[in-house]
Amino acid sequence: MSSTPHDPDSGPGPAGGRANPRGLRAEQIVRAATTLFQDAGYRNVSIEQIGAAVGLTGPAVYRHFPGKHDILVQALLTQVDLVDDLVREADAYGETPQAQLWRFLDRLGDQTTNHDVSILWRREQRHLHPAQLADMRVYFTKFGDYIADKVATVRPDLPAVDARLLGFAVLSLYSNTSVIRGTMPPAHVMQIQRAVARSIVGCQLPAPGPDASPPTPATRRPADRHERILDAATALFAERGFHDVRIDDIARAADISVATFYQQIPGKTEVLRAILVRALEGVLFLTTHALDGVEPRDALDVLISLHVRQSLGVHGRIIPIFTRDLVYLPEADQNALRAAQRAYIAEWAVAIRARSPELSESDAAGLTRAFIGVSGDVVQVPELRARPGISAALAALATAILQPADLLSDG
C-alpha cells in the first residue's frame, strides 16, 4: 500500500504539454476541484474537500493524483486544451479570417460565461512551478497572438504593435468574464462581450507623439516603517501572490526585523487588508474630488484620465492583488471591500449613462468592470506598459470598451 506523499500541495506535476487523461474518476476529481478552486481559492481548498465533492476520502484521491498541485495543473491544462480545440474548430469552419475570429470568440464567450473557464486561468496559475507557469504564459501569449493575427488580417493597415495590443485586450476581456458578469444573465453577458470585442477590434489607437514615452514608476522608499511594510508587501503580493510571501520576505524588503514588523502590524492578513482598504478608500477620495463641479457629460473623460494615471502608478500593482487575493481575507473584510468597489463602479455607471442613457445601470457597471480588468491586465505586461504613448492608448481602449457601438445601437 502506497504512503501519502510528503508534500501533497506541491507535487511536481507535468511541466508542459496537453492534459493527461487518467480515467473517468480522475476527470470527476478535476471538475470538482476546478469548481472548488474557483469558488474558494486554491489555497483555501483541501484534498479532503475535493474528495468529499466526488464521494471519496482524502487518501483515496491520492490514488489518482500525487497531490493537490497536480490536480490544479491538470485542471489548467484541460482548459488550455479546450481553448486549443476552439481555435482549430474556428479555423476549420470559418470561411474568412473575420468569420474565424468571431466564431472563436463566440465559443470562448460561451465557455467563460456558462462554464467559468477563466477564473482558474486568471487567479490560480501563479501557484504553478516556474516551468509550468512559463508554459501557461506561452499558451496565453499564443492565444493572444492568434487573435492579433486575425485582427491584423481584418485591418491590414494596422501596425503590428497595435494589433498586438488589441489582440491582448480582446483576450483579456474574455478572461475577465467572472468579474464582468455581476447579476446579468449569461446570454446578456455574451452580448456585451461580443459588442465590446468588436469595439476593441475596431479601436483607432492614437499614434505616439514626440513626448509619448511611458511613465516611470516611482521608486522612493517611505521613511515611516509602517509605510515601508505596506509598500514592500504591495510589491511582493503583486509579484508572487499573498500566500507565497512570508513575513520575513516583507520584513527584509522593508529593511526591518521581523520583530519590528510585528510591532507595527499583527500579521500578514492585516497587511493585505490595509493595502486593499487604503487603495479603495484612496481612489474613492480622488474620484469624488476629481468630479467636483464637472458637467455630467464630461465626467467619463475625467474618470478615464484619472484611472489611466492611477493604473500606471501604484494602483496598477494593487488591481491584481484585489482580483487574486481578496478571497484570502475574512468574509466580513471581503464584503466591506466589495461594497467599496461597488461604490467606485457606481460613479462610472452614472458617468457612462450621462453619455449613453440607453444603457441600463447593470450594463454600465459591467462595461466599467471590463475596462478596469483589461487596463489592469495591460499594465501588468512589461512590453505593453513600455509602449510609447501607452496612456493615450489606454484612454482610446477605455472609450472603445465603455461605449461599444453595437451595444448602443441595440439600446
Higher pLDDT, 123 or 377: 377
Q: Do residues 186 and 114 touch, judged by C-beta distance below 8 A?
A: yes
pLDDT for 172: 94
Higher pLDDT, 16 or 311: 311
Instruction: Provide CB contacts within 8 A for 71, sequence distance 6+.
Output: 29, 30, 33, 50, 61, 65
**Would you give the DSSP letter of residue 185?**
-
pLDDT for 196: 98
One-letter identity of residue 151 = V
pLDDT for 193: 96
Higher pLDDT, 165 or 10: 165
Domains, the chain, ranges and CATH? Answer: 268-410 (1.10.357.10)
Q: For 284-327, give the secondary structure using H, E and C.
A: HHHHHHHCCCCCHHHHHHHHHHHHHHHHCCCHHHHHHHHHHHHH
Residue 313 and residue 395: Cα distance in Å, rounded? 15
pLDDT single digits (tens) 165-201 = 999 999 999 999 988 988 899 999 999 999 999 999 9
Residue 67 and residue 398: Cα distance in Å, rounded? 42
Buried-state track 34-49, b at ≥16 Cβ within 10 A, e below 16: bbbbbeebbbebebeb
pTM: 0.86
Instruction: Provide CB contacts within 8 A for 142, sequence distance 6+.
Output: none
The enclosing H or E element of 348 equals: helix 331-355
Residue 298 and residue 222: Cα distance in Å, rounded? 36
Packing angle between helix 186-201 and helix 361-378, nearest 10 degrees?
A: 50
**Which cell is 355 given?**
453619455
pLDDT higher than 60, residue 138: yes
pLDDT for 410: 55
pLDDT for 211: 57
* Mean pLDDT score, 36-45: 87
To the nearest 10°, report the CA torsion of 64, 69, 73, 74: 20
Q: Do residues 165 and 159 touch, judged by C-beta distance below 8 A?
A: no
pLDDT single digits (tens) 355-393 = 999 999 999 999 999 999 999 999 989 999 999 999 999
Q: Which of 300, 307, 407, 297 is nearest to 360 (CA)?
A: 407
